[in-house]
Amino acid sequence: MPIHDIIGDVHGQFAKLVALLDALGYRLVDGAYRHPDPERTAIFVGDLIDRGPGQVETVELVRAMVEAGSARMVMGNHEFNALGWATPMDDGSGAWARPHNEAKRSQHEAYLAQVVEGSPLHHEHLDWFRTLPLWIDEPGLPRVVHACWNEPAMTSIREVLGDQPMSAEFIREASRTGSNLYEAVEVVLKGPEVDLPSGVEFRLENEDRTRARIAWWNLEEPILSKIALIPHGQDAGTLPDTELPHAVDYRYESDQPVYFGHYWMRGAPGPVADGMICVDYSAGKDGSLVACTVDSATPGTWEFTEIPHA
């Protein structure tokens, strides 16, 4: 019976990735990590790059697994950002789909230095990132998305993208603030966000944030103080109990389990809600790299393997 190991955001933590694959029983054979059980494969939830010391090695390892058929991967917002960074707008302005400003450069410069911006390897990575699906929804496979499973957003994306690699035109349109495609890609790759009340903000990755991510897996009571996610170590003060009636649009209504990353969780891994499993436990900072193993013979049960920060 197929077994899937769903692996969280690696963010260049190559040593943790090798340790995790080893703990799960994968071995390097003919240039790619593979499990001795041919029916057991890995699924990466995206965000291989940005932050850590081993970003190129991480991309090369995962790409080899995907090409060998021992892993699948969905795109993370950081792979999408890498494409936007390298995609010129076509309006003659000299601008890029992702602005080359200081804050955004600081979020991406470690990757650009490691891969060498503009090098043949950089272009190889970009060409591979273009081929990554934005979600996996296939019979016999777990449902996987980087940040948020949202049918309306996915429908908007599917209408434009189909199953083609991501074109420059798609990347430009999805980078135009306010376009339908921009909103849809934001929800799927970064999750829904809400405006914070005036005067409430926090600072993250060299930018002042006046919006907060929301816990789309926990929208029973859609009020700001209960659903806003303020990053670990950041202080936005006391959040008010403002009602957010539109937040319920992001509720996940299916009985099918859904797996995702992106949310920098802390503590012991486990489902965040019934059938909803986040596998990002902050490996990119000082947290653990986590895999959730699901066996199609025993649906509804999950085993977690974690490699703590050394």
| Contacting positions for Mn ion (CB under 5 A) | 47, 76-77, 262
- Amino acid type, 308: P
The least distance separating Mn ion from the CB of residue 260, rounded to whole angstroms, comes to 9
The least distance separating Mn ion from the CB of residue 90, rounded to whole angstroms, comes to 27
Whichever of 26 and 264 has its CB closer to Mn ion, that residue is 264
Decide: 14 and 61 in contact? Cβ < 8 Å. yes
Residues 6+ apart with CB under 8 A from 178: none
The least distance separating Mn ion from the CB of residue 8, rounded to whole angstroms, comes to 10
d(CA 156, CA 10): 28
Whichever of 77 and 114 has its CB closer to Mn ion, that residue is 77
d(CA 284, CA 11): 5
Beta strand 3-7 with 40-44 is parallel
Whichever of 60 and 79 has its CB closer to Mn ion, that residue is 79
Whichever of 47 and 186 has its CB closer to Mn ion, that residue is 47
d(CA 156, CA 149): 13
Whichever of 5 and 186 has its CB closer to Mn ion, that residue is 186
The least distance separating Mn ion from the CB of residue 80, rounded to whole angstroms, comes to 9
Residues 6+ apart with CB under 8 A from 71: 33, 41, 42, 43, 44, 62, 65
Q: Which residue is nearest to Mn ion (CB)?
A: 262
The least distance separating Mn ion from the CB of residue 29, rounded to whole angstroms, comes to 30
